[in-house]
Structure 1
Amino acid sequence: MTLFDYSHILTDTVDKLSDNNSYRGLFHQHKDGEPLPSGKALEEIIDLSRAILFPGYFGKSNINSQNINYHIGVNLERLFELLTEQIQAGLCFGVENNGMETKDEPCRDTAARLASELIRRLPEIRSILATDVEAAYYGDPAATCFGEIICCYPIIRAITNYRIAHELYTLNVPLIPRIITEMAHSETGIDIHPGATIGHHFTIDHGTGVVIGATCIIGNNVKLYQGVTLGAKSFPMDENGNPIKGIPRHPILEDDVVVYSNATILGRITIGKGATIGGNIWVTESVPAGARIVQRK
């Protein structure tokens, strides 16, 4: 009995997959010493950040007021090391994929400066996250304490990732902010683009299925429910038929807005201060302050 010779199939497939017409736009050519950012390292960065921002709730459970300085110091040193390494990888990726030609190639000094700037902002990030915890607690009658909010509520994990990613985004670090928010998207079902601007005392009840676009501006004391989309309408095209990027195309929600479950708000419109948007409706025009928009009976 003669066995079928599969070698020609393998060889032919290798040749087809190695053809540059096959992988155009799908291939990242590595250079020595310039790896892509590591998903595993970024997961550790988020774990360390959560342990620093919420000591005792994330990370080591034996932390107390006597050893907190030591634990935070150790975690910050490791965080700085990992951030520097990953930011450098992100900067290298950005130079290559944006077709930039510059004499100032990404270097470890630049990455270390950006990493230290993010770390300098951590106390401010913690302060605003404390308001998000308050908003989740006072906005949910089922919540029993702040600890339950921090441990259990998906919004805290998602908003923590977002607030870290947003700071990296404002520092013009490529790729990494989006990876960090997509990690939270996978973990919680909450999709927040790092370019969005979100004020203090922000919360999402339940959370699953929420989408917040890149150019959204969300004020203070805003509450969303599950399934809310803050999205864009059709994209304007240039003369070549390509979508025009970088223009404001997502909603503005002013202070004290509440948006109920599965509402869809599209386009660069403004939802005025104190407005309420009911569930399961589409909104494509601006809403005045204090208005209440619900389905018709």
Structure 2
Amino acid sequence: MNTENNRFSNILQESQSNNWVRAIDSSKIINWIDDLFKILFPEKALETIQIELLLDQSKANFISILSEIVKDKTANQILDDAEAFYAALPDLYTSMQKDAQAILDTDPAADCIQEIINSYPGFFAIEVYRIANVIASLTACLLPRILTEYAHSKTGIDIHPSATIGVPFMIDHGTGIVIGETTIIGKYVSIYQGVTLGALQVEKSMQEKKRHPTVEDHVIIYANATILGGSTIIGNHSIVGGNTFITKSMNPYSFVMQSNKNTVLNQQEIKDINFFSI
């Protein structure tokens, strides 16, 4: 090995000794969440004994992942966390069913629950968030963030695992949605593509503060709306129109829309106008 390679190898070794490591192979986590979804939403109904065996295997894999990634807990504490997560799974499953039903009830393009489970990116992103959120409440580790970033990579929907989201929650289309860490969302909220629920300022000193908005029950937020600030509250039953930019609270039953007007011209009278000139 030449001198330069040897020097770089030493630099890498020293850096990796100071936490510059991945901590776990993400593929193990992805396989675990995909297998869990196959238990919750299988291609065909499973017998009870099959479900029990699959859940036992899922729990064993989960414990293995936690054991690799969590370094500040004993084996017994990790077992307790795993038991707590799987004890929460029935309630999680009920929440998922309510999310899917609400999407079916509100989206005129949805024909059946199976379509939502199989093909709706919003449903997938919401349910991965719900799983990650429970894990985040049990243990501080990389696992919840890896899960939501997996959903982000598949759907274009970025939901922080520590956000608070009520049941049911509906996302339609979804690409480009960002929901920040301290966001609070109530029940029966619908969000469309490109919506950002973000911070008014991005400063490390605000890490422990509420930086993201609160959206109360029965609110609809249409495409590309941006709502910023930890003190910003969107009152219940409000409608937020597309392309709006909001940094102040709205009272319940409010309706906000873009004030810019579209210009409509008769095409037969504007043939000589080149709208695409530079």
**Cα distance, 1:29 vs structure 2:** 6.6
**Residue ranges of structure 1 left out of the alignment (5+ in a row):** 1-6, 96-105, 237-241
Once the two structures are aligned, what percentage of the paired residues are identical? 37
Name the amino acid aligned to 2:240. I
Aligned to 2:137: 170
Name the amino acid aligned to 2:219. V
Aligned to 2:191: 224
- TM-score calculated relative to the size of structure 2: 0.87
Aligned to 2:4: 12
**1:279 counterpart = 2:258:** no
Of 217-226 and 147-156, the range deviating more from structure 2: 147-156
**Cα distance, 1:201 vs structure 2:** 1.5
**Residue ranges of structure 2 left out of the alignment (5+ in a row):** 262-278
Task: Find the partner of 1:209 among 170, 176, 188.
Answer: 176
Name the amino acid aligned to 2:184. I
Aligned to 2:49: 70
Aligned to 1:91: 70
Is the partner of 1:19 in helix, strand or coil?
helix
Aligned to 1:53: 40
Q: Deviations over 1:141-162 (max 9, x none)?
A: 1111111111110112111110
How do residues 1-297 of structure 1 correspond to structure 2 at under 5 angstroms?
A: 8=2, 11-16=3-8, 18-19=10-11, 28=19, 36-54=23-41, 56=42, 61=43, 63-64=44-45, 67-92=46-71, 95=72, 106-235=73-202, 242-268=204-230, 269-296=232-259, 297=261
* Structure 1 residue ranges (4+ consecutive) displaced by more than 6 angstroms after TM superposition: none
- TM-score calculated relative to the size of structure 1: 0.81
CA distance in 1, matches of 2:112, 2:119: 11
Q: Deviations over 1:184-236 (max 9, x none)?
A: 00011110000001001101100111000000000000000000000001145
CA distance in 1, matches of 2:11, 2:23: 23
**Cα distance, 1:169 vs structure 2:** 0.6
| Structural RMSD (CA) | 2.1
Aligned to 1:98: none
